[in-house]
Amino acid sequence: MTVAEDVTAAAPATVPPVSVAVIGTGAIGQDLVSKIHRSAVLECALVAGRNPHSGGLEHAARLGYPTSTDGIDAVLAAPRPFDVVFDATNAQSHAEHWRLLRPLDTLLIDLTPSKVGQMVVPTITGTHAPTERNVSLISCGGQASTPIAHALAAAFQVEYIEVVSTVASSIAGRATRLNLDEYVATTGHALTTFTGVADTKAILNISPAVPPATFRTALHAVIPGATAEAVRAVVAEAAERVRAFAPGYEVIACGVDGDRVVVSLEVIADSDVLPRYAGNLDIINSAAILVAEQQAARLAPAAGTGAAR
């Protein structure tokens, strides 16, 4: 069963969708709202930011969803806790958001590189509901590279992993630029955690190129004795699993030179609001929506029997 097929075991049509809120109204938050809008089991009940002139708030209002400029305070002021809250702000704010939401029966999905919650990579950690109520989606580069790195480490003796991601400057918002150190640390931590390789390195390039650079991630690894045929087979299988929920994910090159392995990945955004080159935002948001829909599937039996959620 694929990742996409497994998650379709969602709430029955007779069960109301779970209520979700989005904190953060930048490009990530705006795309999240669009993806929630397309979901059969998620209901956007609030989009909260700080900037009253934010394009994200305007987009949510056009879709008919409640909005607020009170940020986390609006989430806390809701009549009942949301089933799921997406945090699309920044790493520093997330720590405070978790402190405030922790007493509530809410699943907090972290799209910042805070390294606070349970790390989730759908093709590695599985498609079941998380065991903790704070879920970390690591980073865009982490979501793109970790599935390949994990697959290589499972098949070969890997001695070193380096991941270099390139994003367009026009899509790298203020939060991304504020959290560059956190991005590097969190992505490197995920690489080590999910591969068992102690020597890892993560790099993020913000490209000012015109036209904007398509999101790409290059994975460099030292794998003694690996053959090109064997590496390509492992990489192709891992990439196919990611495409189950992020269809724009592609391996554009895979080479072996001695013990040096290089895998180049590209992600084209599958989004109603993002440009095609913003695959970095699309892949992390697609993973976040998948986690939220898994939560909906878990809550469905309780809602169907009239039990409190």
Whether the CB-CB separation of 42 and 84 falls below 8 Å is answered with yes
In terms of C-beta density within 10 A (0-12 exposed, 13-18 middle, 19 or more buried), how is residue 14 classed? exposed
Task: Give the per-residue SS3 of the chain.
Answer: CCHHHHHCCCCCCCCCCEEEEEECCCHHHHHHHHHHHHCCCEEEEEEECCCCCCHHHHHHHHCCCCEECCCHHHHHCCCCCCCEEEECCCHHHHHHHHHHHCCCCCEEEECCCCCCCEECCHHHHCCCCCCCCEEECCCHHHHHHHHHHHHHHHHCCCCEEEEEEEEEHHHCCHHHHHCHHHHHHHHHHHHHHHHCCCCEEEEEEEECCCCCCCCEEEEEEECCCCCHHHHHHHHHHHHHHHCCCCCCEEEEEEEEECCEEEEEEEECCCCCCCCCCCHHHHHHHHHHHHHHHHHHHHHHHHHHCCCCC
Whether the CB-CB separation of 226 and 220 falls below 8 Å is answered with no
Place of tokens 């036209």: 211
Return d(Cα 150, Cα 290) in angstroms, integer: 20
Catalytic member of 140, 191, 254, 296: 140
Q: Is 254 a catalytic residue?
A: no
Enzyme catalytic residues = 140
